[in-house]
Structure 1
Amino acid sequence: MKHYFFTVISIITLTFFYNCSKSDNGLDNEDNSTPKEETEETFNYTSSAKYNLNIIYFVPKGSKNRKDSHRRLSEILLQGQEFYKKNMNDYGFGNKTFNLLVDTQKKRIKITYIDGELSASNYPYEGGGNKMITEIEAYYNANPDEKNSDHYLVLSPVSDPTTSDVPYYGLGKWCFASDFDDMDIKHLGTGTSLGTRATTYIGGLLHELGHGLNLPHNKEKVSDLSNSNKGTCLMGAGNYTYGSSPTFLSEASCSILNNNQVFNNSNDIFYTGATASIKNLQASFESNNIKISGTVETDVTVNSISIYNDPADDNADYDAVTWATKLEADNTFSISMPISELHKKENTEYVLRLLLNHTSGDITRISYAYKFVNGAPVIDFGEKDYFNKSKWVIESFSSEENSGQENTGLASAILDNNDETYWHSCWNGSCASANYPHSIAIDTGETITAEGFAFTQRKTLSRAIKDIEIFISDDNTTWSSLGNYTLQNVNTVQNIRLDNQASFRYFRIEAKSSYDGDRFAALAEVYCF
């Protein structure tokens, strides 16, 4: 396998790397005249930072590096640097942006050109990203000095981006986009078809880069749309506005980037696996504001919280409206969020996601559920006066997994008051084919009168249950249904209040569907209040 890349010390000319015709050479002159040979040693790439974004141009076997790619992509990413820097400055984070290895005199960035082992059809949108990652990691394992950080932007050459089937998304700290001959910042804002395409795909590149830099999707607040300094969030629909109408990064995004490895000049070790939790959470709806406050407990400093209000009426988070807040010296926080800034307020389920931003670049994600009813939010998350479960026992279950450590996998895990353990339907051995519906029944040991039930999904939200039905019984023989309910895909306790109080000794939870669409189910805890 051959690998093509720009470096300071090599003296091999680029014309030896590629066929020298103008259409094939990535360093053709803009006027399409005979290409000037630029030897690799003519570039002096430097950076004051230890960590710099890895930029890879991945060329499948038999494909062509698109014309003038080094110049065009250098200009695109240097402009992108300034865009990110302006937004960081606007929120008071200073002149911070993603670090690059740059030849400042020639205005070129370091791009590592790597030839793929297979043809382009072997790296499709579905699954192609992981295949590219395998080959790129093999290259960096063989050339460890070439790796500059834990973040990667991978570009694929295409002749027509509208019909191409290449990876175009984020995968953890990796992100993927495409490159084509007319993807050039000179077309931005021209009002032409080339301008529209440049906005879509240059904005798309910078949007996907955001994912590779740890950013979720989010939507602008209602007031941002009419603000000439804001407009559309890049991490929402910004790839349709970048360079042609106002586009910005939210404060929630910039708060995350503030701790990102490639946004800092520190020599510290990043992404150490920090953890955190929120104690004494208070939430309310007052004076047309959703108010939340609490205290953060953490093993690595948390300096800000990014808050995402995500309507749960779809499976995407493009419409999540965000806020951000810094922590006080005593690790407390509080924020008020006007509901006038939310786009959806009529009978809509919401997931409230709090991203606790550690100075190590790690992010702890904690989520809660609430809903709008007749234009007003119903805030019912947080702890209730739950019944003591010490005498509760599992009466029956459809299946359980007994290969886990401690209580994990067993039905009894939902009663141990430990949300790190969980019941899991059988996935190993002869019962591995167990499918929905899954069920589990509990004997409370006495007749209780409850106002509602509470559930905690598995911490990682893997195998999260979506639709359930609750049954109750006095004798474990005759059962009556209390109705069907939908659990939210959140990793904190969620309360379901009944229309009327119910008295019973036994109750049974029947899980009917999952969020991932697979046959397995998992649940960490169940309560009554």
Structure 2
Amino acid sequence: MMRKYFLLFVLFLFSCSKEQEENMNAAMEPTTITENLPETFNYVSESSRTLNVVYFTPKDMKTRDESHRRISEILLHGQQFFKEQMRSYGFGEKTFSLIVDQEKKRVKIIYIEGELNASSYTYDSGAQPIIEQLKAYFESHPEDSKSHHTLIILPVDDPYDSDAPYYGIGRWAFATDYNEMEIKYLGGDPSAYSTKKATTYIGGLVHELGHALNLPHNKQKRSEFGLENKGTTLMGSGNYTYGTEPTFLSEASCAILNNNEIFNTNSAAYYSGGSASIESLNAEIIEGEMVLSGNFTTDLPVNSISIYHDPADDTADYDAISWRAAVTEDNTFFIRMSLDELEKKGDTPYVLRLRLNHLNGNSSTFSYAYSFENGEPILDISFSPKTYFDNSKWRIFSFSSEETGGGEPFGNGLANLIIDGKDTTYWHSCWTTCNVTHPHELVVDTQGSTEVKGFSFLQRNGSRKIKDIEILVSEDASTWESLGDFVLSNINTPQNLDFVEQKSFRYFKIRINSAHDGEQFASLAEVRIY
């Protein structure tokens, strides 16, 4: 009996060792673990110039869940929206180009970790360090910089309680991402929390992207608001209606996009040079319409003019009503604009802004003032343009202060911006790192004695417009002659101050004694002489 049990025990040991050997052999075979490998994508684009999409994560934050899928779906949705809008005005099947894996429906997104914590990337001053880090990244990774246009997305826990940058600066756009930011929530009940939140922040992302694509604010005409295929302009308050209620791009906006580098697949050079001058401009009111005509000269072709009627009773341009004017081969234009399309009349000052759209994507902008009094339009200024002196060799000789602490949007605040020839940049008195008060002073060296008939000032399109000023001139920047005290209007159109007789000088000083908002600060976009 013992021999029988012994034999069974041996067989048991043999079978166990055999099984263990098979398991060991199996364990030694190579194994591929697929779940931890990064997913691969077959990214392609029909254009060599595409939108740069960056997901920028502060050092102490994490990317939001499924960000690649969700942001891709949002951008592809936006790409289709822009295409439909361009098509509706006869611009063809144009939209902004992306690098996409068409099969997986994924957009190429560059994920970058910030050098600092989220507290260093605030709404007021966070854009500048992010842009500086991205510029350094693109310099060392030129293959990732596909165009001049960049969308930057930052993760946040709650967008309603976020201090992250959320705006457009030049051709950089900032927006935020949160876990539930999903395309599927668009189009639902507008009163539902998930729909309202998605509309606000997906719409907000697409709105800020519009700024990075060169678009200014503008509002729908009165006749457009109730139309099913119009509604609210994206570049007005469309960030609160996008994807849920009728939302559209104005024709003036699409005319600008028509010349955008990532809306075109050609090999032309974009955003290099381009300047124009209005030679004549005629405006009159005929049967409730403003009839506008004129001609211009330009060093680069202009194919359209985007025209904005912007109420000047606030510091923003969200309520500017827009039109597009066609341009003839001999650089003339003619357009009739119904004043019934304007919401604000009464006693309202207006800025009439003409944006000449160059084929290379740049623009030349000219602003003029008119007003309504008791609901009636008053064209009470001369539209005759001034011939300004060339200021390319001018230099800032001295200034009382300038904003360098990052308090102004990236690229603004410096004194030399009042002579850079750009209406969209501005000087601002120092306010983040100092406590300066009126009077503020700016001294310009024109590099040679000049016979001058007058000065032209352009206020910043925003707050801190200057009011009471004194102009002084000198040949040696030591002995000064005052030309008098002047009051500038609270409007961002060129304001000309004519001299009784011509004055000769090399240096001029602007002494700013007060601002329209009554605060201690001051800001100015441009100063020119003629």
Is TM (by shorter chain) over 0.5? yes
Tell me if structure 2 keeps the 8 A contact 1:308–1:352: yes
Equivalent residue number for residue 357 of structure 1? 357
Aligned to 1:75: 73
Letter in 1 for 2:71: L
What is the CA–CA distance in structure 2 between the aligned matches of 1:217 and 1:119, rounded to whole Å? 32
Taking a change above 3 Å as real, the CA distance of residues 377 and 139 of structure 1, as seen in their structure-2 partners, is same
Structure 1: which amino acid aligns with 2:528?
A: A
Task: Report the structure number with the largest CA radius of gyration.
Answer: 2
CA shift digits 1:469-495 (9 cap, x unpaired): 899xxxxxxxxx9996625322x4559
Change (3 A) 1:278 1:334: same
CA separation in 2, counterparts of 1:267 and 1:136? 25
Does the aligned pair in 2 maintain the 1:189–1:195 contact within 8 Å? yes
CA deviation string 1:167-209 (max 9, x = no partner): 1000100000000011000001222211110000000000000
Residue type of the partner of 2:514?
Answer: S
1:108 aligns with 2:81: no
* 1:407 Cα offset (Å): 9.3
- Is residue 174 from structure 1 mapped to residue 172 from structure 2 by the alignment? yes
1:436 to 424, 434, 439: 439
Helix, strand or coil: the match of 1:162? helix
**In the alignment, is the contact (CA less than 8 A) between 2:74 and 2:182 conserved in 1?**
yes
Contact 1:123 1:167 in 2 (8 A): yes
**What is the aligned partner in structure 1 of residue 148 from structure 2?**
150
What is the rounded CA distance, in whole Å, between the counterparts of 2:73 and 2:442 in structure 1?
58
CA drift at 1:270 = 0.6
1:48-447 equivalent positions in 2, closer than 5 A: 48-191=46-189, 192-383=192-383, 405=393, 435-436=438-439
Residue 222 of structure 1 aligns to a residue in which SS?
Answer: coil
Distance 2:153 2:285 in 1: 46
Distance 1:320 1:461, change over 3 A: closer
Counterpart-to-counterpart distance in 2, 1:419 and 1:45? 41
How far apart in 1 are the matches of 2:64 and 2:527?
50
Q: Taking structure 2 as the reference length, what is the TM-score of the superposition?
A: 0.73
The 1:38–1:319 alpha-carbon spacing in structure 2 relative to 1, beyond 3 Å, is: farther
SS in 1 for 2:344: coil
Give 3-state SS (helix, strand or coil) of 2:42's partner: coil
Contact in 2 for aligned 1:128/1:167 (Cα 8 Å): yes
Once the 2 structures are TM-superposed, how far is the Cα of residue 140 of structure 1 from its aligned partner? 1.1
Quick one: which amino acid aligns to residue 197 of structure 2? R
One-letter amino acid matched to 1:304: S
What residue identity is the alignment partner of 1:39? P
Per-residue displacement from partner, 1:59-87 (whole Å, max 9, x unpaired)? 11121110011111111000000000000
Deviation at 1:39, TM superposition (A): 2.7
User: Is 2:486 aligned against 1:488?
Assistant: no
- Who is 1:39 aligned against? 38
| Pair 1:437–1:348, CA change in 2 (3 A) | farther
SS in 2 for 1:165: coil
Q: Please give the alpha-carbon distance, in whole angstroms, between the structure 1 residues aligned to 2:141 and 2:501.
A: 66
Secondary structure, in 3 states, of the residue corresponding to 1:117?
Answer: coil
User: CA 1:462–1:184 in 2, change beyond 3 Å: closer, same or farther?
Assistant: closer
Residue 30 of structure 1 corresponds to none
Output the CA distance in 1 between the equivalents of 2:98 and 2:395: 47
Question: What is the distance in 1 between the residues matched to 2:215 and 2:350?
Answer: 20
In structure 2, what is the Cα distance between the partners aligned to 1:315 and 1:459?
Answer: 11
CA contact 1:419–1:525 (8 Å) conserved in 2: no
Report how many residues are paired: 434
Alpha-carbon offset, residue 381 of structure 1: 3.4
TM-superposed CA distance for 1:466, in Å, is: 3.9
- What TM-score do the two structures reach when normalised by structure 1? 0.74
1 CA distance for matches of 2:464 and 2:201? 35
Conserved? CA contact 1:465–1:523, under 8 Å: no
Cα drift, residue 514 of structure 1: 4.6
Helix, strand or coil at the partner of 1:319: coil
Note the residue ranges of structure 2 that are not aligned, 5 or more in a row.
1-33, 399-418, 430-435, 444-452, 472-483, 504-509
Distance 2:134 2:275 in 1: 30
1:272-328 CA distance string (max 9 Å, x none): 021111111111122111121111211110001101111111111101010011201
C-alpha change, 1:77 and 1:213, in structure 2 (3 Å) is same
After superposition, what is the alpha-carbon deviation per residue over 1:200-259, rounded to whole angstroms, capped at 9, x for unaligned? Answer: 000000000000001111111111111111000000100111111100000111000000
| Alignment partners' CA distance in 2, 1:162 and 1:406 | 46
Shift of 1:139: 1.1
2:464 and 2:299 map into 1 onto residues whose CA distance is 27
